[in-house]
């Protein structure tokens, strides 16, 4: 074995891009940037240490109390007993069978949210879903933590699936460069987040485009709590988190009161402005939505709002909205209001004008490609039709059988007895982790496939060690990228790790569904099959893709799928002829007022966008919790992945908390100090970083540190989710509202 893995350098792909890997014997020893990446990330630097880290799960492991007497309370602090694969698979299969027989498949939660790793076949979620479908199905989840709320609200407004709009139909960077004069970025466009794109991103180009925008004199304005959310050189209007709807309303008010609204556009392409206008002008609630009104909420100078509104009305303006804005309570409102504001400007459907979502959130948004999709491992059909909004898992576990509202429907939460998770880390990603820790005691059994002993693995009953992508072969490809990779197996599996496919094959076989799951194919057979299907699809579009053997030899190829010049967006044909190409809304137009939403009768998301203050923000700050906490994505890695190796590095843990000098001085905090960040839900440690790049009153603590404290007083690593709220954005979207939280910060005496 060792010989076939003797010294070699190969390229592989990941969610944060392609990189070269040096292998010696059975170890990854170094990584280097991919040759044609203009701006490679540093994330792979920590990969060699992480892959061989002592926190790898080496053997199948079953928690002692669960094995002895199916006890649940020990999750998170009890030790595990290692077992041989066959024995552990027997026990797991028997338990899955028992739960199915006793409670039915509706008692199995297999939503299994998470990014797992790139690679088309060994895609953990596809694997676990297919397995569960083969044995009768599972309760699934809808949407993502990234965009769940937008996925619910935006189809009502634009009549199109939000992800389709996002990934197939927005202006490309070239179009923005060529046509846009004013770029208004709510929540910024962050090169730090652009490092990542699901499925892979080879050429990191966001920062390069901003250099070109600057050279061309495009005015770029970042509206939000952190200057660093946009590249250097952009204007910054420091605003309070959660106040964006008020700012957008004030911009709309200026347009309407100064005769700058494009009423021809509203008449031809939208419905419901007449029902929204009285609210905007204050006729319904006595409060005109003036810049002065907005200033009291958002903290931005009214003069700056006035000036911006006029500039937006008189230049080609593109509004972008970060995903973070809908990851907060009432996150539906800024999304809907951004569409209304863009409609009032009347530039939707013109190149470089209108509104777009998620630029910078992931690096793939803005790349202009001609669609060549495909290469997915079929999950088969789920016979169980129960689906919860993804971020409502804590609620579901706390309230079995209780009704909840979601986008016009009301139904009871299922009663979950078994959870299967592969490729995600809910103890990193979910809100209010101390509350989740309690809710997690509900199910009888929790099974996790994981390469590392994450906080989630530690809270499982049965843990199967999974390989990382470097320990198996796969194909790397993303709908938002123009490269194709053969991802070779670089090293043998670490410890006794197996691929998710092998784990699920073993379980399916024991449960009598082996043939349905595998169709009698090995992993290599599946990779060949999926690849051939993809090649055929490409050939139909006149795109030449090498055969698999050639790709294996070359390691990677660049696909000729870049769209040349400005691209044509979703709204262009609609603008040209709204009768012939209506939108998919009930009216066929952009819905400023939605009869459908109005009919739901939700006071937390009525028939047109309105300003709704969240329950925690600077407007409700208290002495006990005076600071607004935003918890953005980490710049140095992907979520909680590779965490154990990063945490070993001097000075990296606890995670850094950005705080404004004014807030730091009054608390006697200096850069480098250890601080305690806390509120009524929990507490964590962090390392202070005093900076003027954040608005006073706001602190930022990135996600990604492993949740380190089992039910005690303080999370030692700095996971912001001990502080965040586990409430839905509204009854309509029920998305994650992580960015809505108030905290206090004090120094820790050392
Ligand atoms: N406070 C706060 N919380 C947030 C957010 C926020 O903005 N603020 N953002 C949210 C968002 S948008 C997201 S997307 C989530 C991200 O949350 P997650 O996607 O859950 O985070 P990851 O750390 O990427 O988790 C992936 C897990 O899969 C494991 N894994 C990798 N490869 C494989 C494999 O091949 N097989 C198996 N079985 N496992 C594998 C990794 O080791 C890791 O533990 O966090 C959310 N949480
Ligand atoms: N390096 C790296 N990149 C990533 C990821 C990663 O883990 N690491 N994760 C990827 C994933 S899964 C996702 S979903 C995307 C997320 O992409 P986004 O949702 O855009 O990113 P966030 O980091 O949550 O937030 C971006 C900024 O929004 C600001 N913000 C917070 N609340 C508000 C508000 O109410 N109003 C305004 N105006 N601004 C606000 C904060 O200052 C924050 O820094 O990032 C992706 N990119
Ligand atoms: Mo995300």
- What is the per-residue pLDDT across 91-107, written as a single tens digit (0 to 9) for each? 999 999 999 999 999 99
How many angstroms is it from 25 CA to the middle of ligand 1? Answer: 30
What's the whole-number average pLDDT of the chain? 96
**What is the average per-residue pLDDT within 430-436?**
96
Tell the residue nearest (CA) to atom 28 of ligand 2. Answer: 187
Tell me what pLDDT residue 466 has: 98
| % of the chain at pLDDT higher than 70 | 98
φ/ψ (deg, to 5) at 18: -90, 155
Question: How many Cβ atoms from other residues are within 10 Å of residue 557's Cβ?
Answer: 16
Pocket test for ligand 1, best of 43, 149, 226, 425 (most atoms within 8 A of CB): 425
pLDDT higher than threshold 50 for residue 408: yes
Per residue in 578-620, pLDDT tens? 999 999 999 999 999 999 999 999 999 999 999 999 999 999 9
Neighbours of ion ligand 3 (CB under 5 A): 146
Q: Is 706 in the pocket of ligand 1 (CB under 6 A)?
A: no
Question: How many Cβ atoms from other residues are within 10 Å of residue 580's Cβ?
Answer: 8
Return the ligand number nearest the Cα of 636: 2
d(C-alpha 39, C-alpha 41), whole Å: 7
Pocket test for ligand 2, best of 199, 239, 324 (most atoms within 8 A of CB): 324
How many angstroms is it from 640 CA to the middle of ligand 2? Answer: 15
Tell me what pLDDT residue 67 has: 98
Which segments of the chain belong to CATH 2.40.40.20? Answer: 618-747
Q: Is 690 in the pocket of ligand 1 (CB under 6 A)?
A: no
The residue among 714 and 696 whose pLDDT is bigger is 696
How many angstroms is it from 189 CA to the middle of ligand 2? Answer: 9
Tell me what pLDDT residue 229 has: 98
* 61-143+373-558 is a CATH 2.60.120.620 domain: no
How many angstroms is it from 391 CA to the middle of ligand 1? Answer: 13
Tell me what pLDDT residue 555 has: 97
Per residue in 239-257, pLDDT tens? 999 999 999 999 999 999 9
How many angstroms is it from 427 CA to the middle of ligand 1? Answer: 9
What residues are in contact with ligand 2 under a 6 Å CB criterion? 146, 186-188, 190, 192-193, 195-196, 223-226, 229, 239, 241-242, 244, 322-325, 327-328, 361-362, 630, 632-635, 638-639, 700, 739
Per residue in 492-537, pLDDT tens? 999 999 999 999 999 999 999 999 999 999 999 999 999 999 999 9
Return the ligand number nearest the Cα of 428: 1
Tell the residue nearest (CA) to atom 3 of ligand 1. Answer: 429
How many angstroms is it from 316 CA to the middle of ligand 3? Answer: 30
Tell me what pLDDT residue 359 has: 96
Return the ligand number nearest the Cα of 324: 2
Which segments of the chain belong to CATH 3.40.50.740? Answer: 61-143+373-558
Per residue in 622-677, pLDDT tens? 999 999 999 999 999 999 999 999 999 999 999 999 999 999 999 999 999 999 99
Return the ligand number nearest the Cα of 391: 1
Tell the residue nearest (CA) to atom 23 of ligand 2. Answer: 632
Q: What is the dihedral of CA 722, 639, 436, 719, to 10 degrees?
A: -20
Tell me what pLDDT residue 166 has: 87
**What is the average per-residue pLDDT within 215-237?**
97
Cis omega before residue 654 (within 30°)? yes
pLDDT higher than threshold 80 for residue 322: yes
Which segments of the chain belong to CATH 3.40.228.10? Answer: 150-368+568-598
Enumerate residues 6+ apart whose C-beta is below 8 A from 649. Answer: 46
Q: Is 123 in the pocket of ligand 1 (CB under 6 A)?
A: no
How many angstroms is it from 145 CA to the middle of ligand 1? Answer: 10
Report which secondary-structure segment, H or E, holds 525: helix 523-540
How many angstroms is it from 361 CA to the middle of ligand 2? Answer: 6
How many angstroms is it from 429 CA to the middle of ligand 1? Answer: 6
Query: Confidence band (pLDDT; 50, 70, 90) for 113?
Result: very high
Tell the residue nearest (CA) to atom 39 of ligand 2. Answer: 187
Asked whether 507 and 93 are in contact (CB, 8 A), the reply is yes
Q: Which long-range contacts (CB under 8 A, 24 or more apart) does 206-214 make?
A: 206/39, 206/173, 206/231, 206/359, 206/360, 206/363, 206/366, 207/39, 207/231, 208/38, 208/39, 209/173, 209/176, 209/177, 209/366, 210/234, 212/177, 213/176, 213/177, 213/183
Tell the residue nearest (CA) to atom 40 of ligand 2. Answer: 187
For residue 409, give both structure tokens: 């429907």
Tell the residue nearest (CA) to atom 46 of ligand 1. Answer: 429
φ/ψ (deg, to 5) at 128: -70, -35
Tell the residue nearest (CA) to atom 15 of ligand 2. Answer: 361
Catalytic residue numbers read 113, 115
Pocket test for ligand 1, best of 13, 56, 60, 145 (most atoms within 8 A of CB): 145
Collapsing DSSP states into helix, strand and coil, what is residue 625? coil
Q: Is 422 in the pocket of ligand 1 (CB under 6 A)?
A: yes
Sheet strands side by side (includes 483-487): 474-476, 483-487, 556-558
Tell me what pLDDT residue 711 has: 53
pLDDT higher than threshold 90 for residue 9: no
Tell me what pLDDT residue 91 has: 98
pLDDT higher than threshold 70 for residue 709: no
Tell me what pLDDT residue 2 has: 42
d(C-alpha 18, C-alpha 201), whole Å: 7
Per residue in 150-175, pLDDT tens? 999 999 999 999 999 988 789 999 99
Tell me what pLDDT residue 710 has: 52
Per residue in 543-567, pLDDT tens? 999 999 999 999 999 999 988 766 6
CATH superfamily of the domain spanning 150-368+568-598: Dimethylsulfoxide Reductase, domain 2 (3.40.228.10)
Asked whether 333 and 607 are in contact (CB, 8 A), the reply is no
Tell me what pLDDT residue 3 has: 45
Quote helix, strand, coil % in the chain, to nearest 5: 35, 20, 45
Pocket test for ligand 1, best of 429, 468, 633, 657 (most atoms within 8 A of CB): 429
Least confident of 270-274, 325-329, 563-567: 563-567
The residue among 565 and 442 whose pLDDT is bigger is 442
Query: Confidence band (pLDDT; 50, 70, 90) for 1?
Result: very low
Tell me what pLDDT residue 371 has: 77
Query: What distances in angstroms separate CA 479 from CA 202, 473, 483, 529, one per listed residue?
Result: 12, 20, 10, 19
pTM for the whole structure: 0.97
The CATH number corresponding to 618-747 among 3.40.50.2030, 2.40.40.20, 3.40.640.10, 1.10.645.10 equals 2.40.40.20
Question: For residue 390, how far is the Cα from the chain centroid?
Answer: 11
Q: Is 452 in the pocket of ligand 1 (CB under 6 A)?
A: yes
């Amino acid at each position: 074995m060792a010989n076939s893995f003797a010294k070699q350098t190969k390229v592989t792909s990941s969610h944060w891009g392609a990189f070269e890997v040096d292998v010696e014997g059975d170890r990854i020893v170094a990584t280097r940037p991919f040759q044609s990446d203009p701006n490679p990330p540093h994330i792979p630097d920590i990969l060699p240490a992480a892959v061989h880290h002592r926190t790898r799960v080496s053997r199948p492991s079953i928690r002692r109390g669960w094995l002895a007497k199916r006890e649940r309370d020990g999750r998170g602090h009890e030790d595990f007993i290692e077992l041989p694969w066959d024995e552990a698979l027997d026990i797991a299969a028997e338990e899955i069978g028992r739960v199915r027989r006793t409670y039915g498949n509706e008692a199995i939660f297999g939503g299994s949210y998470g990014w797992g790793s790139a690679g088309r076949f060994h895609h953990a979620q596809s694997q676990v879903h297919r397995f569960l479908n083969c044995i009768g199905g599972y309760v699934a989840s809808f949407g993502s933590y990234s965009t769940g709320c937008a996925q619910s609200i935006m189809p009502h407004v634009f009549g199109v699936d939000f992800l389709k709009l996002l990934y197939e139909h927005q202006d490309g960077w070239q179009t923005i460069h060529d046509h846009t004069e004013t770029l208004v970025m709510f929540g910024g466009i962050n090169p730090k987040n652009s490092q990542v794109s699901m499925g892979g991103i080879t050429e990191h180009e966001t920062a390069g485009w901003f250099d070109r925008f600057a050279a061309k004199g495009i005015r770029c304005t970042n509206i939000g709590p952190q200057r660093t959310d946009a590249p250097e050189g952009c204007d910054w209007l420091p605003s309070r988190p959660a106040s964006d709807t008020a700012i957008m309303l004030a911009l709309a008010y200026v347009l309407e009161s100064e005769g700058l609204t494009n009423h021809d556009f509203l008449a031809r392409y939208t419905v419901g402005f007449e029902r929204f206008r009285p609210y905007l002008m204050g006729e319904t609630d006595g409060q005109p939505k003036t810049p002065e009104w907005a200033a009291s909420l958002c903290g931005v100078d009214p003069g700056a709002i006035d000036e911006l509104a006029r500039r937006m009305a008189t230049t080609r303006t593109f509004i972008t909205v970060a995903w973070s804005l809908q990851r907060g309570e009432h996150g539906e409102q800024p999304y809907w209001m951004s569409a209304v504001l863009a409609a009032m400007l009347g530039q939707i459907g013109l190149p470089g004008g209108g509104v777009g979502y998620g630029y910078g959130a992931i690096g793939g948004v803005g790349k202009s490609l001609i669609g060549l999709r495909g290469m997915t491992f079929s999950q088969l059909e789920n016979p169980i039709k129960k689906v919860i909004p993804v971020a409502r898992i804590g609620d579901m576990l706390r309230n079995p059988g209780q009704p909840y509202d979601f986008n016009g429907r009301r139904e009871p939460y299922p009663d979950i007895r078994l959870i299967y998770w592969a490729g995600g880390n809910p103890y990193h990603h979910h809100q209010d982790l101390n509350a989740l820790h309690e809710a997690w005691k509900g199910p009888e059994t929790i099974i996790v496939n994981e390469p590392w002993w994450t906080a989630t693995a530690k809270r499982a009953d049965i843990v199967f060690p999974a390989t990382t992508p470097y320990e198996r072969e796969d194909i790397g490809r993303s709908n938002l990228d123009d490269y194709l990779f053969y991802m070779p197996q670089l090293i043998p599996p670490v410890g006794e790790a197996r691929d998710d496919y092998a784990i699920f094959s073993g379980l399916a076989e024991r449960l009598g569904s082996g043939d349905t799951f595998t169709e009698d194919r090995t992993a290599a057979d599946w990779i060949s099959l999926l690849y051939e299907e993809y090649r055929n699809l490409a050939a139909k579009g006149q795109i030449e893709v090498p055969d698999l053997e050639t790709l294996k030899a070359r390691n990677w190829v660049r696909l000729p799928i870049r769209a040349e010049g400005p691209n044509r967006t979703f709204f262009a044909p609609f603008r040209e002829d709204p009768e012939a190409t209506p939108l998919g809304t009930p009216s066929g137009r952009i819905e400023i007022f939605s009869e459908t939403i109005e009919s739901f009768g939700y006071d937390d998301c009525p028939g047109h966008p309105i300003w709704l203050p969240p329950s925690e923000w600077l407007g409700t700050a208290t002495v006990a919790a005076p600071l607004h906490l935003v918890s953005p994505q980490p710049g140095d890695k992907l979520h909680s992945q590779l965490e154990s190796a990063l945490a070993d590095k001097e000075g990296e843990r606890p995670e850094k908390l950005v705080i404004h000098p004014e807030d730091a001085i009054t608390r006697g905090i200096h850069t480098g100090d250890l601080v305690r960040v806390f509120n009524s839900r929990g507490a964590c440690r962090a390392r202070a970083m005093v900076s003027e790049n954040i608005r006073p009153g706001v602190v930022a603590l990135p996600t990604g540190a492993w949740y380190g404290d089992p039910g005690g007083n303080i999370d030692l690593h700095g996971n912001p989710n001990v502080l965040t709220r586990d409430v839905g954005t509204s009854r309509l979207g029920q998305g994650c509202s992580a960015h809505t939280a108030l905290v206090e910060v004090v120094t820790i005496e050392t």
